[in-house]
Structure 1
Amino acid sequence: MSETDDRARHARLAQDVEDARFRYYVLDAPTLSDAAFDAMMRELEALEELHPDLKTPDSPTQQVGGAVGASFEPVTHLEPLMSLDNAFSVDEVRRWAARLGEPFPALLCEVKIDGLALDLVYRSGRLVSAATRGDGRVGEDVTANVRTIASVPQRLAGEGVPDLLEVRGEVFMNAADFADLNRRLSEEALAAGKPPRTFANPRNAAAGSLRQKDARVTASRKLDFLSHGIGAYSGTPFERQSDAYGVLTSLGLPVSRHNRVVGSLDEALGYIVERGERRHDLPHEMDGVVLKVDDRARQAALGFTSRAPRWALAYKYPPEEVNTKLLRIEVNTGRTGRVTPYGVMEPVFVSGSTVEMATLHNAFEVARKDVRPGDTVVLRKAGDVIPEIVGPVLDLRPEGLPAWVMPTECPSCGATLRPEKEGDKDLRCPNARSCPAQLRERIFGLASRGAFDIEALGWEAAIALTDPEFGRPHDAFSLPQSPVLDSEAGLFDLALDRLAGVEVWRRRKKAGVEQPPALEPFFFTKATPKKPAVPRATTEVLLAELDKAKSQPVWRVLVALSIRHVGPTAARALADHFKSVDAVAAASVEELSAVDGVGGTIAAAIRDWFDGPDSSWHRDIVERWRAAGVRMADEAAETSELPQTLMGQTVVITGAVPGYTRESASEAVVARGGKSAGSVSKNTSVLVAGETTGSKYAKAESLGIPILDADSFDDLLARGADAIPG
């Protein structure tokens, strides 16, 4: 662009940033995602690097926070409450660290809470004021509301209480409390016949709740607080920032237990990686890590820019929330007949991948969130979680946009949808036997690693076998195809001649670009210039895989039957107790419920599968699989050849274990007499934690459950309880 274009672009961006800040800090109703705002700020900074005269005191890059709203009295901070410079890559962190000088200083590493900055002032140990950040110099008086937050002490405790203490920290709302608040707001609005207005994320919920005119409303919402700094202070000077946090703790002010002082940049980068892998272990939202020079004298020497300290930096993780356009809402019928709405959106990059579809759970959730095709929506993809539409950006909704209506018929077979029982929020297709979508999902599910583990039977193959018209591109040369399977009962009867001529379509990629759907031969292998695809050979691989699956243990057969609620954990417990499919089929609800890890809900589902309205074709599956040679009983001596080192031990595995799949690791535990559980409880003997940890790790820590590194798994198998930390 020309210099004239650059200056015009800078002016537009500056105005957009100011508008966004006003909506974020004052109205608590942002229309931009954090990622989009950060991108605008970085573009502004880049333009000011090209044209230094644009970097004026009025530029958003030189200012802190937002304006002070007219609804609250202004409060001048005793010391300015500054912002932080951001880094979005390791290289940017290294460049910042290079400017810190020699010798390299110790760094205080902290989790960056995604909440609302707060300034507290204590005089003679008593809380006298609480204010938002505002523009960094003047904030809003929210003292009455802050007094309702249980984690903010009204009086300081302990000895050596200073005459004056200004505390900086973050007000936030825990994820569970955020979900409860949104649910309550939605239900209240729907009961009153009003459109629901929920918060897009916990940060907005915390800000909106703190800035209520009526402190009783704030008190009704669960807010929390953590300290992360000190402003004005009349006590003995601190040599290190970490010492200040120790004093805050002794005075009764909460400080994050995840803070850590490190002596090198590599250790700081390790902390960034570690917290990134475990960011969802925390009860609150975090969007990055803050690095601070720990030595207060070095802080003073490094000083400040007009808006941020040079001795601190915020490293921000890739965004997990973005805004995009919702194009339409469609529904999908799943394995158990549950019909789930999902959004089809303009493709958007979030949390490391491009997303264009996201779940909406059920019709009640669509109504609760008031999501409509044509909305700009907030999309969230936290870690490895399935992408979810959080809600609409109502201020960007086109006028007159109609509400979405849940269909009344199954999109796959046309059956009338209905709840399974009165009061259910989910609608289901009752045509379990003949619905192509349910059969397709069951075939795909029984081939998964948690069931028969049939590697050659993937999603495209399941479609070709059960529902060849699903998603198939139609043209004048395409003839309708009949399904090869009309029930999973015939899966093991498949033969080479029956599969001849069956076709499957898939999306082909060329140089990373998606191509239109194309018809290809069944089990079309990945062709290379030197190795063309050989459909017949890969079909024979499928038949060989089916033959191998016949000898899988009973627990895998139970999972493959698609009995509601019966997953690998419950199936293992059932197989270990009853030893055969026939014994499970004959057991009463009481006998089934008595098995550790099963319980009443699973027991009732098993009895319904074998004795309910669909039991005739269900039992036909068992008998046809039996006739085809599928193993229906385990021999009692099957695992006796291995030493029973884990007898009486309950092991939970999370993340990757070197040399094992999740299933093979669980099987190794069971083969040695242990129980492989899916969740951590007070009965858990040990948690084996792989490279990626999550809520299981956090729960094990909270319960005091021993935790083993994944590299020690083989030692656990060999030595059993002796390998578990005391």
Structure 2
Amino acid sequence: MDIQEARLKIEELTELLTKYEYEYYVLDNPSVPDAEYDKKMNELKEIEANFPELITADSPTQRVGVTPRETFTKVEHLVPMLSLDNAFNEDNLRSFHRRVVQQVGEDVTYICELKIDGLAISLIYEDGKFVRGATRGDGTIGEDITLNLRTIRSLPLTIKERGRIEVRGEAFMPQASFLKLNEQRKADEQSLFANPRNAAAGSLRQLDPRIAASRNLDLFLYGYGEWQGPELATHSEHLTYMQEQGFKVNPHWKACSTIEEVIDYVSYWTTERPNLAYDIDGIVIKVDNLAQQEALGFTARNPRWAIAHKFPAQEAITILHDVELSVGRTGVITPTAILEPVLVDGSTVQRATLHNEDFIREHDFRLGDTVVIQKAGDIIPKVMRVVEEKRTGEEQEIHMPTHCPACDSELVRIDDEVALRCINPNCPAQLVEGLIHFVSRNAMNIDGLGEKVVEQLFNESLVKTFADLYRLTQEQLVELERMGEKSANNLLNAIQASKQNSLERLLFGLGIRHIGAKAARILAMRFESIEALQKATYEDLVSIDEIGDKMAESVIQFFAEEKVIALVDDLQQLGVNMVYTGPKQATEKIESPFAGKTIVLTGKMEIYTRPEAKQLIEELGGSVTGSVSKKTDIVIAGEAAGSKYDKAVQLGITIWDETDLRNALEEIENE
């Protein structure tokens, strides 16, 4: 066989094997037995071995690389991969529908899709060939996992479309593959994966693609980013087009012309999801018409034309063995339940939040109790209630401490707060948590400074204050465990780069009480330099609609402290930027729907906790009260709102649900 004959035979076998793989892995309808597929694959391998110069990246033999890489490369998404707003019940879905109709009219069709519980991915094709695959990451920056994604047999290496297109979807591990993987890991005395989602994410972040190839992953594609393909008018047309190109699209999507049909679809899959061969954690509802999507637009984080209905949180019964106490960066003592391990919604839970002392007393939790736990939003476990009929009389009362578990200082309650708080400014636990907050993504965003590294630096007495981070040297870092020269150099570069951050990141990182990321941005835009903010009076601060009394008092008190004045001076001497460098137009005043308004919160909250909602509203100039009167401007009602809701209706007061609150907050964030 000469090289020309070999080239033609390789093209023939590649086309044939690609067809067989599509039939087997996408259509689940193979046209030939496995033995025939193996025969053709071996024939292709033999020809490529004799003519290695003819091997191409899209050959079926090249799905699995053989050389593990050292690390994953960061990649920027040209079109951000935004998250979706959540709906938790029928009322949330109807509120979403009302907002859509108000914007685009009654003539709207929705596409409902199963929300696959896996790892969000982006795939880029150029000239018909798969060239790059990445994780969602933070929505803007992801990781290049191309080699691992190539190992997924249902992912086409070539498509018919020759324009540059980016398709998006979810990589996941089928339940059968998950059970098989854990059985093998158990036999090998390795730790087990908690659920298929974690197993899929862990598999795709293996540096050796051969490991990912052995895990039998799969994927479904459901959307797109950058698109140079044909102009299509609807999302459903995109789904059909992707199927025609050979992409695996979940077959259970449905077009719904009314919100009632949407609710019926959600109800059906809420009960039917256990019968699927893979995990889903909700239903995604999208406006079908792309022109209507464009008219609806986006908030800072979410498209307004889509929403994810989250399935009801699943509950389980277990034993409360102990309570562990942790100290946060503001000194708040948080109790965590230590539980008998129990499987909840596919993952093993043995720790859950108990919130605070009042919550423990209100529910009368005791050591040894049989308790009901729930995964809130399918993520954070929390202890819900006691199964009183299981009590034996041997249960023990839970006693909260009088002194800090980290520094032994006496604990106090400030301003009638429910939280116990350590007010020792030198408490080591608070110092560490403060450092972790300072370097976090929304603050100074120092890549490579995770919790473990921060704790290591603190325990080695290399870092005690924020300023100490900017004094670290290569020599100090390479002495740390698991810190080589390259890692140390990367970390120092990240620390150096953080000096150029705009002022709002520094303000948020400093951890001023009551000042979140949004308030820090408002203050930075208004005063433009930390020097001007330090000189601001109480009147200057409260004149800003979004800054309430407590926030103003907190800023004044913070910058009056001598240690803070010294810290700011120290950071400035070390070259940390102290001025606002954001967009000029951002200095305009942000309108707040809460400024000067009286708000009442009632009912069970799902998206926010009551204290979170209260703080967010007060940060934006609102006043939250406990009772409804003629002076009330807005009532925000959760589930089982009760008499306050009824009174608001009688008085004709504006009533919001939690989704309305979130949308208002997102609107402000987007301005």
TM range (shorter): 0.3 to 0.5
TM-score (norm 1): 0.41
Larger Rg over CA atoms: 1
